[in-house]
Structure 1
Amino acid sequence: MATPDFILSLREKIGHEQLWLPGVTAIIIQDVPAGAPITEVPKVLLVRRADNGEWTPVTGIVDPGEEAHVAAVREAKEETGLDVQVEALLGVGQVGPVTYPNGDVSSYMDTAIRCSVVGNATPGAGDGENTEARWFSVMQMPPMKPRFRLLVGDAVAQLRRPEGFCPRMGYQKRDRRR
């Protein structure tokens, strides 16, 4: 789906000025099957964006009145054609500002969620936002923004040791002196 109608309506009023929006990142993980060799690692579903060619997890804007976990499921279906279920909260953090090719500026309060596929796991590029959707070993992902690599790592850590996982508060580098 392209830019949501509510944003187009806001843009008519404010032009290219910065918008503060709720966003969601769905980290869709395919775990290692039971009985697989110890050397096998989980896979992550990534999409190649049509606008800039970058590989990313499924991302999107949360619609007015929509919960972030519902938006994650909706965005996964729109962008990959897959049905997913929410497994865990990975964290919440600020992203941006992002300046788009048309001059629009937005910042996001992003909620990252680990999801798993329900049923058929063969993805496709569901909407015009992406040109490809493909599974990658978490050890052999294509180049992508550090924030996405961090969230994929968090998703695997949460999957492996949920009892010790603490959701991330913020995506910026942490000051190690504290």
Structure 2
Amino acid sequence: MATPDFILALRKKIGSDPLWLSGVTAVVIRDDEVLLAKRSDNGTWTAVTGIIDPGEQPADAAAREVLEETGIVAVPERLAMVHVTDPVVYDNGDQTQYLDLVFRCAWHSGVPHPADGENIAIEWFPLDDLPAMSDDMCRRIAAAVSGEPAAQYVFSQSLPGGA
């Protein structure tokens, strides 16, 4: 499903005005490989991303998006990063921006395939030989594969008190 029904209902009321949404990035790891999807809308490689449904737990959303898009069962292991994406303007003029929660997920079962039409390819890539991706997506994957036990928080400016 490309656009959730609740967003379509909101768009009927607000048109293409900016819409603040919560999203997830699921970085699925299997041994020394990461699962990536080649998007059907722009042909770029990314980790699995998606929108959190109203009332849905973020980790559940990460696992759901992986299953819906790739046919893979993945288990969220930890929150790896919290950040805000750059504003997005879609081809139809809709404007959004996302609070994105990046989860490191472990592969549990399944053979990857484009399961819902949002992607044209789903493949495992060695972590040391990734395809070309945006800097933002590379940061998300790096946060997920880092050995840090706590999530990374992205700051756009210095903290009060000079920190």
Same fold (TM over 0.5): yes
- 1:169 maps to 153
User: C-alpha root-mean-square deviation of aligned residues, in Å?
Assistant: 1.9
Encode CA deviations 1:79-111: one digit per residue, 9 max, x unaligned: 000111111110111012100001000000000
- Residue 99 (structure 2) aligns with: 109
CA deviation after TM superposition for structure 1 residue 165, in Å: 3.3
**How does 1:66-77 map onto structure 2 within 5 Å?**
66-77=56-67
* 1:63 to 1:56, Cα distance in 2 relative to 1, 3 A: same
In the superposition, relative to structure 1, how do residues 174 and 83 fare at CA in structure 2: closer, same or farther (>3 Å)?
Answer: farther
Contact 1:69 1:86 in 2 (8 A): yes
- Relative distance call for 1:116 and 1:108 in structure 2 (3 A) is same
Question: 1:53 — aligned with what?
Answer: 43
Q: Provide closer, same or farther for how the CA distance between residues 4 and 169 of structure 1 changes in structure 2, counting only shifts above 3 A.
A: same
Task: Kindly report which structure 2 residues correspond to 1:77-116, keeping only aligned pairs within 5 A, or say none.
Answer: 77-116=67-106
| Aligned-pair CA distance for 1:144 | 0.8
What is the one-letter code of the residue matched to 2:91?
Answer: P
Distance 1:106 1:59, change over 3 A: same
Distance 1:142 1:27, change over 3 A: same
Shift of 1:152: 1.5
Q: CA deviation at 1:58?
A: 0.2
Partner Cα distance (2:49, 2:143) in 1: 16
Q: Tell me if the contact between 2:39 and 2:119 (Cα under 8 Å) persists in the aligned partners.
A: yes
TM-score with structure 1 length normalisation?
0.85
Q: Deviations over 1:5-56 (max 9, x none)?
A: 000000001111000000000000112xxxxxxxxxx110000000000000
| 1:120-144 Cα shifts (integer Å, max 9, x gaps) | 3x20001111011000011111111
CA distance in 1 between counterparts of 2:34 and 2:119 reads 16
Question: Does the 8 Å CA contact 2:102/2:144 hold for their aligned counterparts?
Answer: no
Q: Unpaired runs of 5+ in structure 2?
A: none
CA–CA distance in structure 2, aligned partners of residues 77 and 11 of structure 1: 26
Note the residue ranges of structure 1 that are not aligned, 5 or more in a row. Answer: 32-41, 159-163
The answer on whether the counterparts of 2:22 and 2:100 sit within 8 Å (CA) in structure 1 is yes
CA shift in 2, pair 1:174/1:115, >3 Å: farther
CA distance in 1, matches of 2:52, 2:141: 20
Distance, in Å, in 2 between the alignment partners of 1:18 and 1:123 is 34
Task: Please tell me the residue identity of whatever aligns with 1:165.
Answer: P
- Is 1:153 aligned with 2:148? no
1:125 pairs with one of 107, 114, 121: 114
Equivalent pairs counted in the alignment come to 161
Q: Distance between the aligned counterparts of 1:87 and 1:166, measured in 2? A: 12
Following TM superposition, by how much is the alpha carbon of 1:74 offset from its aligned partner in structure 2, in angstroms? 0.3
